[in-house]
Structure 1
Amino acid sequence: MAVFLVGITIVIWHQPNADGPKAYGAGKGCPLILVQLESFQNFLLNQSVEGQPLTPVLNSLKSESLYFPHLFQQIGRGNTADAEFTVNTSIYPVGAAPMSSKYGNRKLPSLARLLHKQGYIADTFHVNDVSFWDRNQMYPALGFDTYYDQPYFRKEKFNRFGPSDEELYRVGFNKLNALAKQNQKFYAQFVTVSSHFPYTIPEERKRLKLSGPLHGTTLGDYLTAVHYADYALGTFIGKLKQTGLWNHCVFVVYGDHFGLNKKKYNPQKISDSLDIPYHKHISTFNVPLLIHLPGQHRGRTVDQTGGQIDILPTIANIMGIDLGEEGFTAFGQDLMNAGHNIVGMRYYLPTGSFFNDEVLFVPGKKGFTDGTATLIRTHKRVQDITPYKQDYDLIMDRMKRSDNYVGHLPLR
């Protein structure tokens, strides 16, 4: 039986809109589902190993979604939880302290709170105990109404975090389908763990069959784990399609952070093993972002450079929320309508590192003057870094202002 939500106006994303930003309101009033994929890098898409595609589900999703190939992680010490924080607030992680621990006592301006004003409820799903990374503090700070953690899932031992992604999606889908039948608008966040380090999954759950040089290696284990995570995501999408929810929701998938730590994995060995260009910084920190809009059947690549800090403004535009009118402070940009963009990184790179439309810039011991710039599309070194001084100064100021802003937010 198909479930169709009442009162939703579907606006096709590619229709011309002379009166406003591109894709503005394309998902207005529709359910919003965000899936944060654990340790998922962008190079995995459209790659095959021993004749087997690594991410067939994401490849298919890419063919009918907005795809952002130049999106980069911006996490600090909080890793996965920092990604959740940044995506839900458009605030920079401070780096040395997990945002969930340091600012979980605040009332954070967030995506959930923006959508509450539109009549949405906001739920989040994660199979681990909610106290991990102090999420029991962070989720109320972000305005989530309900968090579904370990007690809501079957006692299944998939990896050290507990149940599988399939179990995560099974419970989540049942909750969302019940809301849809009640015509309740919702924002749902899913945080996956099946592709978490050390990438050991039960033998009977492995779907990627390796018999060549990668068999029994840590890189092979990583590829096997992400292949399973891709499969599990497909089970979720399949259920959404069976009930009709798929055609009426905004579906967002992104990676939280790298899976192959540059300190443990030799970039040249990765490049040789997979026959791909692999840069120790650019490829490591490049994570996927795909957004499927209601009624969308053709894919489109959005070449704009961005970071996790840009995901909230991009979603807000799609959901028909004007951040200016809301008085919402975002430190990122809407990637559908951005011009020049600069996104900063710290903790995993020196403070002041940034990606812009052309390069990754990494400061040296003296700051800007002995820094290096590398083209993000070709991985070639840029000799003259002078043109990037203005962007360096801007990102240093922007991150400082972000730190000051979050530090002055009211306590809950």
Structure 2
Amino acid sequence: MRSVLKRIRNGLDTRAGFFTLIVFLFWLKTYIVYQTEFTLGISDSMQKFLLAVNPLPAGLLFFGIALYFRGKKSYWIMMIVDLIQSLWIFSNILYYREFSDFISVSIIKSSGSVSNNLSLSISQIIHPTDFLVFADIIILAVLLFFKFIKVDYSPAKRRYAALVTIASVILFACNLSLAEKDRSQLLTRTFDNNYIVKYLGLNFYAGYSGYQAYHESLTKSKASSKDITKILAYIKKHRSVANMSYYGKAKGKNVIIFHLESFQQFLINYKVNGKEVTPNINKFYSNKNTISFDNFFNQVGQGKTSDAETMLENSLFGLPSGSAMTTYGTTNTFEALPAILNQRGYSTAAFHGDVGSFWNRDNTYKSWGYQYFFSENYYKVKSGYSVGYGLKDKIFLKQSVKYLQQLPQPFYAKLITLTNHYPYELDKKNQTIAKTKTGDSTVDGYVQTAHYLDQAFGEFISYLKKSGLYNKTMIVVYGDHYGISNNHKKAIAQLLGKKSVSSYDLAMFQKVPFMIHMKGLQGGINHTYGGEIDVMPTLMDLLGIKNTDTVQLGNDLLSTKRNQTVVFRDGDFVSPKYSKIGSTIYDNNGKVVTNKLTKKQKASVNKQEARADKTLSMSDEIITGDLLRFYKPSWFKKVNKSDYSYKVSDALKELKAAQKKSGTSLLSENGGVSTESLFKTDAPELK
């Protein structure tokens, strides 16, 4: 036994022995993280094998660099490589826990626009055990420092180093070949980053996301007008015809978009201990003048809220990685709904109780044609007024009235709430409903912040009625994305009253509310399948705006003849008949039918999959190639971003001049008397 230990000890005192040990420890911790921190959907023996193998090619390649050097330099290089690798793993553990995705180069590039207040989220996400990814570094450093492992000063044998490098390349080639065999088009149909990590590893994904970022830049420089011509032909062929029963019903009306942060459909009529979580939204949902969609899905990717806004007002998807608003919002040409309405006499404004730079809104909104952007600088902020990412909803909405009443009518206004945002924390004086008892601390506070949001919504609707805006406005209410990620399966099952949840259940869990309300509108529950990509064409038809030559990838939800395939950003889709989640096909009862489809049914599913791929690819082409610079409808005027200034003094001066010129603002109609007092709130901070 002693002789064995001595041989191991002697082996570790060589450069090759230490190299073997550090590579093994790196592989081990990576594999453990794969199994415990990420939900990669391992479904067969080949995927299990590739998951175990894929850390090795990169490990051999990067650690192998040290073998070209001698002495302490070689050991320093291996330790630094291990530290960098560990930081990458650690960062992805935290990011995945919140977003169910991996960090991309695009996300890193845009981190400055989304970094404020993230320290609070990180403090909630991080677990003490996460730091174990650095354990091997600490142990090896101690062993080297106290000379339990001695540094090998012998000359570097370059041929052995070269063999390790060659072996890493050959191993990766084999890995890639087996991955492509198990998952064809792995790198050409990259809508889900989980597949890249599952098959090729976290390190390869880092390089691949960097390539994607470079490719996006290259794509824009190579794009031409021919690219948009092909897309226009496809859109024309697949555009739904407007439902004339609803077309133009909201013409000339104000439009208010009420953005329910992280709000999911399951909250509608949901109760905790017999108490409704969202009584005001429930009432609005079932109002006879509200069209409520119960099969409406969020379709966001890494951009989350920014993706929801991009779809809502452009009918274009977010990017496969990163955020379109942060990467392209400043420089790209858009033909967004605010600009279209502004050119038809609407005043346009966005309201948000956080800093204007978040998600690059202060630049993107100009590209979209927003005249005004009332961000944090426009609001009174005191201690206790904010939580998490900005002003509490009740305080935010009450102060927003000051500016809303000054907008010349008709207006298009979007109000983005914030309180129902992860990590779902609320001070005790604002907690008016009990937490759920799933045992998941991330999930259980969700109903409390949702209940608070509902109360704020009720106060806002009450103000609209008292002020007279309610009867002159089309009110659109939507949830932007999931609040509870799919990583909380046990808690989700408890919330839904199930023993467990399948991938199909989790797909259905992606439903968010979408409601359109207006006095005289024929309401009811609409069961059509749709998503955020469909909002813009739906609203344009309701407003009676010609919509036969625009570049939009969604279709009017009220059309009687429309394709009901809802495409997710990762390439999966759901529909009334069949849904494809990963490589599994489900029927509308959630039963797996992958191997039970007839030839005709398979052809139908393949057609849906092709449509999903085509739609996502076209959206990516439009955004990354900035293709709208090559095309605009004859009636549309290209947005000039220099027309807008969101500086408080400039904007308020412009708003005052606009009121005087039009005389149609609510404030003007009220003889200059403010309606702010009509907004009643029980916010304890204001008492």
Normalising by the smaller structure, the TM-score range is 0.7 to 0.9
For residue 395 of structure 1, the aligned residue among 600, 612, 620 is: 612
Q: Counterpart of 1:286 in 2: which secondary structure?
A: coil
1:372: which partner in 2?
585
Question: How far apart, CA to CA, are the structure 2 residues paired with 1:142 and 1:92?
Answer: 15
Q: Counterpart of 2:258 in 1: which secondary structure?
A: strand
2:534–2:557 Cα contact (<8 Å) kept:
yes
Question: How far apart, CA to CA, are the structure 2 residues paired with 1:381 and 1:301?
Answer: 28
Q: Counterpart of 2:463 in 1: which secondary structure?
A: helix
For residue 226 of structure 1, the aligned residue among 423, 440, 450 is: 450
1:262 Cα offset (Å): 0.9
1:149: which partner in 2?
375
2:559 counterpart of 1:334 = no
2:402 counterpart of 1:174 = yes
2:379 counterpart of 1:162 = no
Question: How far apart, CA to CA, are the structure 2 residues paired with 1:399 and 1:73?
Answer: 15
1:279 Cα offset (Å): 5.5
Question: How far apart, CA to CA, are the structure 2 residues paired with 1:276 and 1:392?
Answer: 24
1:361–1:374 Cα contact (<8 Å) kept:
no
2:545 counterpart of 1:321 = yes
1:287: which partner in 2?
512
2:592: which partner in 1?
381
1:90–1:309 Cα contact (<8 Å) kept:
yes
1:71–1:289 Cα contact (<8 Å) kept:
yes
Larger Rg: 2
1:134 Cα offset (Å): 1.2
Question: Greater share of strand residues, 1 or 2?
Answer: 1
| CA distances 1:167-187 after superposition (whole Å, capped 9, x unpaired) | 2211222322233xx5x2110
The 5 Å alignment of 1:187-336 reads: 187-210=412-435, 213=437, 217-266=441-490, 267-272=492-497, 280-296=505-521, 299-324=523-548, 327-336=549-558
2:262–2:483 Cα contact (<8 Å) kept:
yes
1:254–1:288 Cα contact (<8 Å) kept:
yes
TM-score (norm 2): 0.52
1:214 Cα offset (Å): 5.5
2:102: which partner in 1?
none
Letter in 1 for 2:386: F
Q: Counterpart of 1:251 in 2: which secondary structure?
A: strand
Distance 1:392 1:175, change over 3 A: same
CA RMSD in angstroms comes to 2.4
| CA distances 1:131-170 after superposition (whole Å, capped 9, x unpaired) | 1111112111111111111111221443121211112211
- The alignment covers a number of residue pairs equal to 375
Identify unmatched segments of 5+ residues in structure 1.
1-18, 365-370
1:158–1:202 Cα contact (<8 Å) kept:
no
1:103 Cα offset (Å): 1.6
Letter in 2 for 1:302: N
Identify unmatched segments of 5+ residues in structure 2.
1-241, 630-638, 642-687
Q: Counterpart of 2:497 in 1: which secondary structure?
A: helix
| CA distances 1:183-206 after superposition (whole Å, capped 9, x unpaired) | x21100111111000000111011
| CA distances 1:192-225 after superposition (whole Å, capped 9, x unpaired) | 1110000001110112135x74599433200111
1:275 Cα offset (Å): 12
The 5 Å alignment of 1:45-64 reads: 45-64=268-287
For residue 24 of structure 1, the aligned residue among 230, 235, 247 is: 247
For residue 128 of structure 1, the aligned residue among 332, 349, 354 is: 354
Q: Counterpart of 1:189 in 2: which secondary structure?
A: strand
1:106 Cα offset (Å): 1.4
1:114 Cα offset (Å): 1.4
Distance 1:20 1:43, change over 3 A: closer
1:62 Cα offset (Å): 1.1
2:504–2:581 Cα contact (<8 Å) kept:
no
Distance 1:234 1:277, change over 3 A: farther
| CA distances 1:326-357 after superposition (whole Å, capped 9, x unpaired) | x21110000001433222112xxxx3211223
1:37: which partner in 2?
260
| Structure 1 range deviating more: 310-319 or 162-171 | 162-171
| CA distances 1:106-126 after superposition (whole Å, capped 9, x unpaired) | 121111111112200110011
2:272–2:434 Cα contact (<8 Å) kept:
no
Distance 1:171 1:215, change over 3 A: farther
Distance 1:362 1:294, change over 3 A: same
| CA distances 1:206-262 after superposition (whole Å, capped 9, x unpaired) | 12135x745994332001111111110111100000011101100001111111111
Q: Counterpart of 2:334 in 1: which secondary structure?
A: coil
1:268 Cα offset (Å): 2.2
Question: How far apart, CA to CA, are the structure 2 residues paired with 1:301 and 1:217?
Answer: 34
Question: How far apart, CA to CA, are the structure 2 residues paired with 1:121 and 1:299?
Answer: 27
- Between 1 and 2, higher relative CO (CA 8 Å, sep ≥ 6) is seen in 1
| Structure 1 range deviating more: 225-234 or 212-221 | 212-221
Question: How far apart, CA to CA, are the structure 2 residues paired with 1:279 and 1:235?
Answer: 36
Sequence identity percentage: 28
Question: How far apart, CA to CA, are the structure 1 residues paired with 2:440 and 2:501?
Answer: 21
2:265–2:294 Cα contact (<8 Å) kept:
yes
TM-score (norm 1): 0.85
Question: How far apart, CA to CA, are the structure 2 residues paired with 1:158 and 1:278?
Answer: 36
Q: Counterpart of 1:137 in 2: which secondary structure?
A: helix
Question: How far apart, CA to CA, are the structure 1 residues paired with 2:254 and 2:502?
Answer: 38
1:264 Cα offset (Å): 3.0
1:72: which partner in 2?
297
Q: Counterpart of 2:475 in 1: which secondary structure?
A: strand
Question: How far apart, CA to CA, are the structure 2 residues paired with 1:155 and 1:84?
Answer: 25
